[in-house]
A and B are shown apart, each in its own frame.
Chain A
Amino acid sequence: MRYMILVCVDESVEVSPEESLPTAWVQEMDGRGVRKLGSRLRPVSDATTVQVRDGEVLLSDGPFAETKEQIGGFDLLECEDLDEAIEVASKHPGAKFGTIEVRPLWED
């Protein structure tokens, strides 16, 4: 079962690199074979949103949702079930200062 985890953080909150960098987590989860892919994302100041309306491409600067917490990174997991995905997500350092959303991939 594949899950995408979205690591949502408040970019205005200062967190030291020791607390926030998921290096050890990545190493552990890659080693276990549960993490297939993932990356930290550049801040929303570098984001562009794209919409097509009436055939016209509309661009705007910034993230799609004006919320306090923004997606700061993602990882694609291959887990046995939701309990394993929750366990993996709860070990991510971002869970301590941000919020992690666990979403199953749409697979038929």
Chain B
Amino acid sequence: MVATLIRMTGDWDLAEECGQDAFAVALERWPRDGVPRRPGAWLTTTARNRALDRLRRGATEAAKLREGAALWPRHEADDGDGEGHADGDDGTVRDDRLRLIFTCCHPALPLEARVALTLRTLAGLTTAEIARALLVSEPTMAKRLVRAKGKIRNAAIPYRVPPAHLLAERTGGVLAVLYLLFNEGYAATGGADLMRHDLCAEAIRLARALVSLMPDEPEALGLLALMLLQHARRAARVDDAGDVVTLEDQDRALWDATEIDEGLGLLDTALGQDRAGSYQLQASIAACHASAASAADTDWARIAQLYGRLAPLVPSAVVELNRAVAVAMADGPAAGLKLVQALEASGALAGYHLLPATRADLLRRLERHAEAAAGYREALELASTKAERRYLTRRLAEVTEQGRPPSP
């Protein structure tokens, strides 16, 4: 509804306010007069009429009104008391939502604002909720949103789906925002908990919406599949004390079979289009884990090979680190350690706790306990969430114990 109002009025704040007004009117009238036959359409029409009223009132807004009226098909105009006859057809609503996604994720906006705007206008979260979710104060978040909406208006960031020559690049940008949102929930960078489920759920909901809006985009399918396959493991990732459980030690009975099935199905559909991209490759890796009956059954050779294909598409040291882990599993810890050490020499991941933690894990497997302990200590100094710190402390205690010479 807000998406449609933004298209009509070109004014983000007005659209949001009128949307809220419409709900208020509904709360007052529906108990008295009964719920209309098409509640969604009723709300949109009511909000639209509010918006038109308010635009009419402002003489300086005359131009916007003309624009708004021209965009709204005449046959849908009604008596003006808010009792709407019809919504725009589903196609129009669909297009409006897609336009809104692309505008919220426009690369001329700072990344943090893209994430916040997406949560505000697409997920409908309040400023206070977004501030809480992204761990900033409410005034900071309010300022961020005001600034972003100001730039959309003042710099004329277009409200549309990008033309063909920009579409691939901009779609990538939208997917990146959704994945960032998911990751912020899945591996929280701050706070006491390892995961923040509300953000994950919201990201999945938005990815679903994007898939339904762009059914022919295999990377959107790939991203949704990736999120589902990762999210399916959520119950097994953290133990009762809130500590990390590594993939290897997870109780696979706790994995969500329904989500895995859906993720695998979506991935199949995506791969069927034969336009592989980074999200499909990452989902393929997640699928290898999801479909292995036990950790020992994991096809690490295939995972290492998938990481090898991913690396040139996503030139990232984190991908390299994951490839090192896969190689360690496929070809032994010594082979993986070689890659980790090369990565450390490059300095690309300096300050990232998983780098010394991975080195420590491989050294532990090679029974080089003292060196492993040094790695866990390094990682402990860098890890930011309490759950990760507890995991590292436990491992450190283990290798310190094993490293001790047997008592006489």
Q: Is B162 an interface residue (CB 8 A)?
A: yes
Interface size class on chain A is: under 10
Measured between beta carbons, the chain B residues less than 8 angstroms from A104 are 154-156
A81 touches B154 (CB 8 A): no
> In chain A, what residue has the closest Cβ to B154?
A104
CA of A83 to CA of B154 in the docked complex: distance in angstroms? Answer: 13
B156 touches A86 (CB 8 A): no
A84 to chain B, nearest CB (A): 8
B156 touches A1 (CB 8 A): yes
| Interface flags, B107-129, vs A, CB<8A=1, else 0 | 01000000000000000000000
B267 to chain A, nearest CB (A): 32
Interface size class on chain B is: under 10
Q: Is A21 an interface residue (CB 8 A)?
A: no
Q: Is A41 an interface residue (CB 8 A)?
A: no
| Interface flags, A72-108, vs B, CB<8A=1, else 0 | 0000000111110010000000000000001010000
A108 to chain B, nearest CB (A): 8
B108 touches A86 (CB 8 A): yes
| Most central of B106, B156, B158 by chain A CB within 10 Å | B156
B196 to chain A, nearest CB (A): 33
> In chain A, what residue has the closest Cβ to B159?
A81
Measured between beta carbons, the chain A residues less than 8 angstroms from B156 are 1, 79, 81-82, 104
- Which 8 pairs across A and B sit closest by C-beta, in order of nearness? A81-B158, A1-B156, A81-B156, A104-B155, A82-B157, A82-B155, A82-B156, A83-B158
User: What are 17 contact pairs spanning A and B, CB under 8 A?
Assistant: A1-B156, A80-B158, A81-B157, A82-B106, A82-B155, A82-B156, A82-B157, A82-B158, A83-B157, A83-B158, A83-B162, A83-B166, A86-B108, A102-B155, A104-B154, A104-B155, A104-B156
Residues of B within 8 A of A (CB): 106, 108, 154-158, 162, 166
